[in-house]
Structure 1
Amino acid sequence: MKPIIYITQKLPEQAVAKLRDSYEVRMWHDDQTAAPREELLEQVKEAHALWTMLSDTIDRPVFEAAPNLKIISNLAVGYNNIDLDAAHEYGVMVTNTPEVLTETTADLTFALLLATARRIVEADQTVRSGEWKSWTPMGMTGQNVGGATLGIIGMGRIGEAVARRGQGFGMNVLYHNRTRKSLEDVKYAALDELLQTADFVVLLTPLTKETKGMIGERELSLMKETACLINVARGGVVEEAALYEALKAKKIWGAGLDVFEQEPVPTDHPLLTLPNVTVLPHIGSATVQTRLAMMEMNAEAIAACLEGRSVQNRVC
C-alpha cells in the first residue's frame, strides 16, 4: 500500500504529478476554499503526509486524529496556523517555503506602498465611476516616495529586499529588528524612533507572542500625520480597531494592508469603509512562477521525509 498524502486545497496538476507514482495523493476538490474541518479530521486518520495552506488550522485535535502522520508541509513562509508544540509532541515534522518568495513579496510590498502613497486604487475608481470631471490643482494628491524615509520593522530576507527597492527610489532606510544587521546605507533605529521618523512604516515581522498587537494606539500616535502604514506581515501584528480610529481621525495619512487578523476579511469590516486604506487579499507571493516554486518545495519536502532522506526548510 502506498503512503497517503492529503492536500487540503486543489493544486495545479503539475505541482503534484511527480508524487503520484510513489504515493496515493488525495486532494480536496476546490481551489478556492480549503477542506472543511470535518473533512480534514477524517482524511488525516490515514494520512502519512499533510500538505497545508496558511488558511488551515492545524491544532492539537488534528495531531490526535493522525496516528500515521510524519510531516506537514505548509504552502507559506509563515506557520502560525500550526501548533508546533503539538507537532513536536507527536513527532511530526513541519516545513515551510522560505527564500523562494523573497523577491516576489518585496515587489508586492513596494507596489502596495506606491499604491497607498499615490492613491492609485482610489484614482482608478474615480475614473471608472465617472467622478473625474476635470484636472484640478490638488486633485488626487498623494505623498512623495522618492527621498522619503522608509522604516522597516522586521529585517529578514524580505525586509532586506524591500530596503534595496527603497534605496532604488532614493529613500532613507531605517529598520528595527531583534538583531542588528550589517547593511550598507541602512540605519538601525529603536522602535519609537522609527515610528516618529519614518514616512512609510512597513511591517514584515512574523506573528509571535511578542509581536501580536505590537502596533496599537500608542505606536500609531507616534507616527507622523503624513505617514503611511504598510502591513504585509500578519494581521495580528496590528490592533485593527486602533488603526481604524487613527485613520478615521487622520492621525496618520493612510494604510496599505495585504493581511488582516481574520481572513478573508469580513466585508463589513470598518477598515473597508475608509478611502485612505488600500487593501489586498493576502497576495504577497502570488505570481505564477513563485507559487509553483513554493509547491515544488513542499512536494520535495514530503517526498524526502517519506523516503527517509534529509528534509530541507524544517521549522520543527
Structure 2
Amino acid sequence: MTMRPRILVTNWVHETTLQQLSLLGDIDANETRMPWPREQIIRRAEQADAILAFMTDCIDASFLARCKRLRAVACALKGYDNFDMDACNAAGIWISIVPDLLTEPTAELAVGLAIGLARNIRDGDALVRSGAFEGWRPVLYGTGLDGSTVSIVGMGRVGRAVAQRLSGFGCRLLGIDPVAEVPPGMIKVGLNRALETSDYVILCAPLSPGSRHLIGADALARMNADTLLINVGRGSVVDESAVLAALEAGKLGGYAADVFEMEDWALPERPKAIDERLRTHSRTLFTPHLGSAVTEVRKAIEMRAVDNIADALEGHRPRDAINAPASLARTG
C-alpha cells in the first residue's frame, strides 16, 4: 500500500483549509494561535513531504538537513525573506508564495494608518474612553491628505494599490522605485528628493540587501520635522532606533507601522522586541501585522497555498513557485 504524504501546517488555519489538505495527505497541524518553537517544528518536519509555512517560520540549510522527505514548502505569504532560497534549491525543494491576494488589504491598511496618524485617532479614542470628553474643544489638530505630497517607496503591486486608493484624496503622489515605472498621475522621483519634499512617506518596499535600513539616520535627516512615516513593507526597511531618535528629537512628525524589525527572523542581529520607548511614544501608531488580516482574504491565501502543495505532491511545478530546485530527487 502506498503511504499517504504527510503535510505539516506550522500555524493555525481555518477548518476548511484543513479539510482540503486532508484530501492530499495526513495532516500534522498546529491548532493554536501561537507558533511552535523552532526545534519542535523541525522534529515534526522530519516526517513531512510538504509544509504549509507562515511568516513566523525560518527555513534554512540547517532546517532542511533534517528533512529528508520534504518536497515543497508552500508559504502563505508574499514576502519570503525568511526562507533561504539557495538552501531550498540545493536541497531540491520547491518554494512557493501567494503573490497577489495580500495586495488590496495591505494597501487599505496603509491608507488607514496614514489617516490615523495624521488625524490623531489614537489620542482621540483615548480621550473619549477616559471619560474626560465633554464635547468639542479646539484640541488634537492634525493634518490631512488633501493638498499634501505623499511619496510611495516601492512601486510593486502594493505600492501601486496604495497610489490607486490615494488618487481620490487630492494629494500629489510621488513614486520611488529603482526599476518599476509609476502609474499615470504619479511623478517618479529619486528617494532624496521625495524625502525632502513629502508630507507623508509610505514604505511598500520588500526587504532585500539593498533596502535594509533604507530609512535610517541619513534619510530621516532629509525629512521635514513634521513628515509622517508609514511602513507596511518590511520592518527592517526602517532602522527603528533611528526613527526613535528622530521622534525624541522632534525631527519626525510621527511613525506608523504594521511591520517590525523583530519579525525579520532570518537576520541574526535583529532586535528581539520593539523598543519600549518607541512603543509608548505619543507620535506613533502601530498594528500587529494586520496587512492581510481580512477573514476572506486569509482563507483565500491558505487555499492558494494548498493548491501549491497539491501541485508539488502530484509531481508538477507549483503554480506560484519562485525557485528552480537543482534536483527534485528526495529519498525517504
Query: Which shows bigger deviation, 267-276 or 74-83?
Result: 267-276
Structure-to-structure mapping, 1:234-253, within 5 angstroms? 234-253=234-253
What is the rounded CA distance, in whole Å, between the counterparts of 2:240 and 2:52 in structure 1?
31
Question: How much does 1:171 deviate?
Answer: 1.1
What is the rounded CA distance, in whole Å, between the counterparts of 2:214 and 2:202 in structure 1?
13
Query: Which shows bigger deviation, 127-136 or 241-250?
Result: 127-136
Q: Does 1:144 align with 2:151?
A: no
1:221–1:268 CA distance, 2 compared to 1 (3 A): closer
Structure 2 counterpart SS, 1:219: helix
**Is 1:148–1:171's contact at 8 Å kept on the other side of the alignment?**
yes
Specify the alignment match of 2:128 in structure 1.
Answer: 127
**Is 1:198–1:227's contact at 8 Å kept on the other side of the alignment?**
yes
Q: Does 1:69 align with 2:70?
A: yes
What is the rounded CA distance, in whole Å, between the counterparts of 1:19 and 1:280 in structure 2?
31
Specify the alignment match of 1:22 in structure 2.
Answer: 24
Structure 2 counterpart SS, 1:201: strand
Question: How much does 1:205 deviate?
Answer: 0.6
Q: Does 1:262 align with 2:262?
A: yes
Q: Does 1:297 align with 2:304?
A: yes
Per-residue deviation, residues 251-300 of structure 1 (Å, max 9, x unmatched): 11111111111149747522112110001101101100110110011000
**Is 2:6–2:25's contact at 8 Å kept on the other side of the alignment?**
yes
Specify the alignment match of 1:12 in structure 2.
Answer: 14
Question: How much does 1:101 deviate?
Answer: 1.6
Fraction of identical pairs, as percent: 33
What is the rounded CA distance, in whole Å, between the counterparts of 2:31 and 2:299 in structure 1?
18
Query: Which shows bigger deviation, 155-164 or 54-63?
Result: 54-63
What is the rounded CA distance, in whole Å, between the counterparts of 1:184 and 1:268 in structure 2?
40
Select the structure with the greater relative contact order (CA < 8 A; seq sep ≥ 6): 2
**Is 2:262–2:274's contact at 8 Å kept on the other side of the alignment?**
no
Question: How much does 1:134 deviate?
Answer: 5.0
Structure 1 counterpart SS, 2:147: coil
Question: How much does 1:183 deviate?
Answer: 1.7
What is the rounded CA distance, in whole Å, between the counterparts of 1:64 and 1:102 in structure 2?
34
What is the rounded CA distance, in whole Å, between the counterparts of 2:317 and 2:66 in structure 1?
26
Q: Under a length normalisation based on structure 2, what TM-score does the superposition of the two structures give?
A: 0.91
Structure-to-structure mapping, 1:61-210, within 5 angstroms? 61-133=62-134, 135-137=136-138, 139-210=139-210
1:306 pairs, out of 300, 313, 325, with 313
What is the rounded CA distance, in whole Å, between the counterparts of 1:182 and 1:22 in structure 2?
42
Question: How much does 1:41 deviate?
Answer: 1.1
CA RMSD of aligned residues (A): 1.5
1:153–1:29 CA distance, 2 compared to 1 (3 A): same
1:182–1:116 CA distance, 2 compared to 1 (3 A): closer
What is the rounded CA distance, in whole Å, between the counterparts of 1:267 and 1:54 in structure 2?
17
Aligned length: 314
Structure 1 counterpart SS, 2:261: coil
**Is 1:101–1:285's contact at 8 Å kept on the other side of the alignment?**
yes
Per-residue deviation, residues 65-105 of structure 1 (Å, max 9, x unmatched): 10111111111101111111111111111011111121111
What is the rounded CA distance, in whole Å, between the counterparts of 2:315 and 2:56 in structure 1?
28
**Is 2:192–2:222's contact at 8 Å kept on the other side of the alignment?**
yes
Per-residue deviation, residues 147-170 of structure 1 (Å, max 9, x unmatched): 211100000011111001111101
Per-residue deviation, residues 48-67 of structure 1 (Å, max 9, x unmatched): 10111101121221110101
Give unmatched runs, 5+ long, in structure 1.
none
What is the rounded CA distance, in whole Å, between the counterparts of 1:267 and 1:166 in structure 2?
29
What is the rounded CA distance, in whole Å, between the counterparts of 1:67 and 1:129 in structure 2?
57
**Is 2:115–2:144's contact at 8 Å kept on the other side of the alignment?**
no
Structure 2 counterpart SS, 1:168: coil
**Is 1:16–1:299's contact at 8 Å kept on the other side of the alignment?**
no
